[in-house]
Amino acid sequence: QVQLVESGGGLVQPGGSLRLSCRASGSIRRINDMAWYRQAPGKQRELVARVTNGGSTNYADSVKDRFTISRDNALNTVYLQMNSLKPEDTAVYYCNADVSVTLLYSPYWGKGTLVTVSS
């Protein structure tokens, strides 16, 4: 089995920063893409940022130039540095990873960490 555990959420004032972390553990052979998604109340889950195994990244337009995704392959960990936070960034943030235990890749999800941006 594979587990993804997020950490780093919390309450922050507008304009502030937070850093989310997500570590994958278990019977992992290889991890391909890792990503952060978020779901705000009453809205669908949306992709925030993705990073490939080789380090290529892409971002939602709403977070470009404010958020930075990175990963440490040796630790099976992905990070999301969030700067200049806005109230509309309030959401539950979920970690996602494409993991192979055998030869096939399957998507795995963390349980989420709540980020609240409010004064």
> What residues contact 75, with CB distance under 8 A and at least 6 apart?
23
**Backbone phi, psi, residue 35, to 5°:** -155, 165
Helix (H) or strand (E) holding 108: strand 105-109
Residues 6+ away with beta carbon under 8 Å from 42: none
The yes-or-no verdict on residue 113 having pLDDT over 90 is: yes
Is 45:60 a contact under the CB 8 Å cutoff? no
pLDDT of residue 57: 98
Structure tokens at 74: 């040796």
The pLDDT score that the predictor gives to residue 43 is 96
State CA 9 to chain mean position distance. 11
Q: What is the pLDDT of residues 4-58, one digit of tens each?
A: 999 999 999 999 999 999 999 999 999 999 999 999 999 999 999 999 999 999 9
Handedness of CA 59, 62, 64, 68 (dihedral sign): negative
At residue 44, the pLDDT reads 97
Model pLDDT for residues 94-110, shown as the tens digit of each residue: 999 999 998 899 999 99
